[in-house]
Amino acid sequence: MNILGVESSCDETGVALVECHASGVPTLRAQALHSQIDMHQAYGGVVPELASRDHIRRVLPLTRQVLAAAGASIDKVDVVAFTRGPGLAGALLVGAGVACALGAALGVPVMGVHHLEGHLLSPFLSADPPEFPFVALLVSGGHTQLMRVDEVGSYELLGETIDDAAGEAFDKSAKLMGLGYPGGPALARLAEFGDPAVFDLPRPLLHSGTLDFSFAGLKTAVRTHMLKLGSNVCEQDKAHLAAATQQAIVDVLVRKTLGALKATGLKRIVVAGGVGANARLREQLNAECTKRQTRVHYPELALCTDNGAMIALAAAMRLQRGVGQPQNDYAFNVLPRWPLVTA
Ligand code: KG4
Ligand code: ZN
């Protein structure tokens, strides 16, 4: 069975074709992505209306590109999956509308997928796929959650951020330092030239005894340091501050993830979402996991940030297990604030 996946929840248009059988891990046949970073850069962040319009321009050419790369004709598509939420309403509507129109034209079912479930399952497309159950650390621009994952669709929330997400902490700190958008990769690049010990930054809720996170105070501390450094701040000081910020975020993420392992007694971790691309996070988590004989799985770097492959994959894994039904009526709505699990 071939599943076409369409992702359009934010600033990336992603399309992919995934093949699945009755059992076994589905395989990625082809994927294509268009990032809107260049377009939004001038505004220092995502402009929702521009995002929607760009998705409209990109989604069909990307679909043609994916089918050509897979050597498959459109009539080989058995199910069309799309991101139903969470995300920007207008952007989601583009993907949902196109997916449902394609489904109707082809006479095949469609399936709305939760964006975070896509992230969560994305390591299954890596060369080293995980096995259930595992602890998932979901770290994206809008979410920071620790979950116990027993199977597809069986998620238990262990902890989450009470204010900013980890990616937001990277992005907002980067903005305060005058770095580009998206801030996470820019801050991480600058951090390579800095010493994290030069600035002492808070690690909120580190010893709270819960698995919840808080990153808003960190951003305030970065703002205070930037104000103290003044407008003539040198690149080296900025690099030290970037390194300290990254280290504070990583310390909290790693500590809480280890706490989740202890609380659940599980021996396997999956890290997913854009911040999962962070090299320092991977390095520190790998080192701690080696000490504890715990396996840690990541998506391929190209599948850490938003993409269509994870959406097709999540639909495929649900279909394989009979979790959730594809629909044949092509009436659709989107869910911009759709929780994957609630506390
Ligand atoms: O999962 P994602 O692509 O989109 C959302 O669903 O939010 O995550 C985007 C987030 C942004 O905040 C971005 O700055 C962050 O992931 N990010 C990184 C890195 N690459 C992306 N943060 C830290 N280090 C990175 N290398
Ligand atoms: Zn995402």
Q: What is the pLDDT of residues 61-93, one digit of tens each?
A: 999 999 999 999 999 999 999 999 999 999 999
Read off the pLDDT of each residue in 99-113 and give the average, rounded to a whole number. 98
pLDDT, mean over the chain: 96
Q: Is the pLDDT of residue 146 over 90?
A: yes
Cα(182) to centroid(ligand 1), Å: 8
- CA distances, 139 to each of 166, 274, 275, 315 (Å): 6, 6, 5, 21
pLDDT at 171: 96
Judge if the beta carbon of residue 11 lies within 6 A of ligand 1. no
Of 8, 170, 176, the residue with max ligand 1 atoms within 8 A of its CB, to mutate for a pocket test, comes to: 170
Model confidence, pTM: 0.95
Q: What does DSSP say about strands 79-85 and 27-35: parallel, antiparallel, or unpaired?
A: unpaired
pLDDT band, residue 343 (cuts 50/70/90): low
Cα-trace Rg, the chain: 20
Alpha-carbon span 246 to 119, nearest angstrom: 22
Cα(304) to centroid(ligand 1), Å: 8
Q: Is the pLDDT of residue 180 over 90?
A: no
Q: Is the pLDDT of residue 181 over 90?
A: no
Cα(13) to centroid(ligand 2), Å: 11
Instruction: Please give the helix or strand (H or E) that residue 139 lies within, else none.
Output: strand 134-139
Q: Tens of pLDDT along 229-267?
A: 999 999 999 999 999 999 999 999 999 999 999 999 999
Q: What are phi and psi of 56, to 5 degrees?
A: -60, -45
Give Dmax (Cα) for the chain: 62
Read off the pLDDT of each residue in 331-335 and give the average, rounded to a whole number. 96
Report yes or no: 20 and 312 within 8 Å, Cβ to Cβ: no
Nearest CA to ligand 1 atom 14: 184
Residue 99, token pair as written in the block: 């997916």
Residue 284, token pair as written in the block: 């520190």
